[in-house]
Structure formats: structure tokens, C-alpha cells
Amino acid sequence: MKESRIIASLDLVDSRQILDLAEKISNDIFAIKINWPTIMSCGIEIIKRLSKYSKVICDLKIADIPYTNEKIANIVSQQGAWGMISHIFPGEDSLKAVIKGAADSKVFGVVSMSNPDSENMLNKNWQSMIKIGKTNGVYGIVAPANNQDLLIKIRNEAGNLKIISPGSIFQGGDPLLTLENGADYVIIGRGIYESKDPVEFVNNFNELCRRNNLLNE
Ligand code: BMP
């Protein structure tokens, strides 16, 4: 069956609303990503509840010392998250601890960000962060959908790593172009949950991908 390339970033703070939307779109997306606002408002058990509908990627952007990172990753994994997002910038020791704590859950490392000022900070170090990610066995990395030049450079060095890309629509990126330029999945938040009809939005984008031969086998 062809597989959607949408990761829906459901950054909502009401459990009922997020579960309702998850139920409606779950058949037509690849995964749901949740972030701090959702977890802080709905509680950590929202991971388990959403996992009934879809793979869940927990975007805590873990960035602490190894001891703490391992604990965080372990809790997320025990809640049933399919994947989690970790920073790589704190260094190899911290990333290794995330990967250990994550056990069977996939780890995605941040090698670049979509906010404009990250060009002056984090994004300067994307090459060394990819190297650390590869050496330590991350499953994928995060690269911006609103910076196609950087995305293409990252794709060329990422090898087999999956690329997940936020920064579409509300942050200016074009999700179709992002897939054409080598992202494996586009992360779309407000573009979905603030659209008049999220189900229609997701179906329309899947159809656009299908017409451009961009659905996964
Ligand atoms: P939106 O499509 O509404 O802009 O949401 C994007 C989501 O991806 C948010 O959860 C945001 O925190 C996250 N994100 C991002 O926008 N840029 C990054 O570089 C990394 C992210 O995780």
C-alpha cells in the first residue's frame, strides 16, 4: 500500500481535540508528532493514547547531560512512542545516552532548525552533527523545509538517514518541493490543524504527492 509522507505536528493543548483529530486523520498520515505544549497540558500518557491511532514521535528535543537524557528517553519509550527527537549539539555522550534510553524507539537528531536565526548558531554545525548522528546510529535527522539550499546539502550527506522536515506553510516552506528535494517526510502543524478542514488538507496533499509519484511504496 502507498504510504503518506505527512507527519502531522498536532501541537494542541486539549486532549479531546487532539484525540479527535488524530482519529480523523490517522489513516492518511505517516505519523503524529507531539511537542512540549501537548505533553505539558495533556500529560505524558497522551503518547499512549495517541499511539492507538498512529505512530507517535515525541518532540522533546532532548538536550541534557547523559544521565538525564537516558532517563527522559526511557520514559518516552516506555510510553510507547514510535520515535523521539533529540538535539545533537550537547555532544556525542549525550546523544549516546538518548539512544540507549530510547531502546526500540527510533531517535531523530536535530542537525538544523527552521527558525531564521538558527543560520547564525545551530545550522553552522550541521555537518559535524550529521557525523555524530551517523556514528551513533540515529534513525533520522531534522532539516528545514523553509531552507531548500540547506536541505539539499544535508540530503547529500545524510546517506541512509531519514530526513523529517518542519517549516512548511506557516513558516514559508513548500512541502511538495521539500519532498522533491529529498526529505522523507514533511512535518506539518498549523497547516493541518488550523485549516478549515484538516481531513481534506491531508487528502489533498496526499493526492498531490500521488500525482507527482511521491508516495512511499
Ligand atoms: P508548524 O507547521 O505549525 O510551523 O509546526 C512545526 C512543528 O515543528 C512545531 O512543533 C515546531 O516546534 C517543530 N519544529 C520546527 O518548526 N522547526 C524545527 O527546526 C524543529 C522543529 O521540531
Is residue 61 in some structural domain?
A: yes
Tens digit of each residue's pLDDT (9 = 90 or more) over 104-126? 999 999 999 999 999 999 999 99
User: Which structural domain, as residue segments, surrounds residue 81?
Assistant: 6-211
Quote the CA–CA distance of 129 and 15 in Å, as a whole number. 35
Is residue 217 in some structural domain?
A: no
Phi-psi region of 10 (alpha: psi -120 to 50; beta: other; left: phi over 0): beta
pLDDT at residue 162, rounded to an integer: 98
Closest CA to 189 of 203, 171, 214: 171
pLDDT at residue 26, rounded to an integer: 97
Computed over every residue of the chain, the mean pLDDT equals: 97
Is residue 197 in some structural domain?
A: yes
Closest CA to 169 of 200, 143, 195: 195
Contact 32, 202 (CB under 8 A): no
Closest CA to 64 of 28, 32, 91, 37: 91
Map residue 217 onto helix, strand or coil. coil
Strand ranges (DSSP E) for the chain? 6-9, 31-35, 55-62, 83-87, 106-110, 140-142, 162-165, 185-188
Q: Say if residue 1's pLDDT is above 60.
A: no
Is residue 216 in some structural domain?
A: no
Is residue 158 in some structural domain?
A: yes
Structural domain count, the chain: 1
Is residue 1 in some structural domain?
A: no
For the chain, give the percent of residues with pLDDT over 70.
100
Q: For 67-80, give one letter per residue: b (16+ CB within 10 A) or e.
A: eebbebbbebbebb
Q: CATH number of the domain at 191, please.
A: 3.20.20.70
Tens digit of each residue's pLDDT (9 = 90 or more) over 24-64? 999 999 999 999 999 999 999 999 999 999 999 999 999 99
pLDDT at residue 80, rounded to an integer: 98
Query: Mutation test of ligand 1: which of 6, 11, 147 has the most ligand atoms closer than 8 Å to its C-beta?
Result: 11
| Ligand 1, residues at Cβ distance < 6 Å | 9, 11, 35, 59, 113-114, 142, 144, 166-167, 169-171, 187-191
Is residue 170 in some structural domain?
A: yes
Ligand 1, atom 20: nearest CA belongs to which residue? 113
Tens digit of each residue's pLDDT (9 = 90 or more) over 150-202? 999 999 999 999 999 999 999 999 999 999 999 999 999 999 999 999 999 99
